[in-house]
Structure 1
Amino acid sequence: MTLTSGRFIGHEYDRMIVRFSMHDGAKEVPCAISTSAMDHLEGGPQVRPEQREAQFTRLRDRIEACAASKYRATEFEGTPPGIVLRGIDFRS
């Protein structure tokens, strides 16, 4: 169960998340991260909606490492099951 990078899907302003995917072989795994978690990771002010994709790209390695960890721990949420990352997932 090793996840690899997938695609950036988009920023959902109403839900305050960024959706992306990762792959377990040929299987696409839906993932999301809260925008507040991304802002916390950068340690700066909240970015504008049109800057979310660039922010995700800057943080991609850390985000995907956390998603892979939750995947290995089988911490799935929602229907269809996927990985949801929040600020608490990045605390030491």
Structure 2
Amino acid sequence: MTFTSGKFRGYDGDRSVVLFSMMDDYTEVPCAISSDAMDFLDGAKRTPAAQREQQFMRLRASIEQRAEHKFVHAELEGNPAGVILRSIDFR
């Protein structure tokens, strides 16, 4: 198994999450991280929506490392099954 970076999908303001994907070899795995989790990682408070992509890119290595951990341990949610990261995942 090779778990690698996928695509940045965008910020969903209705759900307050950044959507992205990871690749499990050739299979795309949908992922999301809450804005609270990104702010926790960044030591920020209420980052504006317009800055979420920049924040994600800056924190990408840490976010993807944790997404891989949850994927390897089969901590998947939703339909289709994917990885959802919350601030508790980084404490």
Same structural fold, with TM-score higher than 0.5 when normalized by the shorter chain: yes
Identify the residue that residue 39 of structure 1 maps to in structure 2.
Answer: 39
Identify the residue that residue 24 of structure 1 maps to in structure 2.
Answer: 24
Q: Structure 1, unaligned stretches of length 5 or more?
A: none
Q: Structure 2, unaligned stretches of length 5 or more?
A: none
Q: Is 2:6 the partner of 1:3?
A: no
What is the TM-score normalised by the length of structure 1? 0.96
Identify the residue that residue 50 of structure 1 maps to in structure 2.
Answer: 50
CA RMSD of aligned residues (A): 0.6
| 1:2 Cα deviation after fit | 3.0
User: What is the aligned-residue identity percentage?
Assistant: 54
| 1:34 Cα deviation after fit | 0.2
What is the TM-score normalised by the length of structure 2? 0.97
Find runs of 4+ consecutive structure 1 residues off by over 2 angstroms: none
- 2:49 counterpart letter in structure 1: P
CA contact (8 A) 1:34 1:85 kept: yes
For residues 14-72 of structure 1, what are the alpha-carbon distances to aligned partners after superposition, in whole Å with 9 as ceiling and x for unaligned?
A: 10000000001110000000000000101122211010000000000000000000000
Identify the residue that residue 84 of structure 1 maps to in structure 2.
Answer: 84
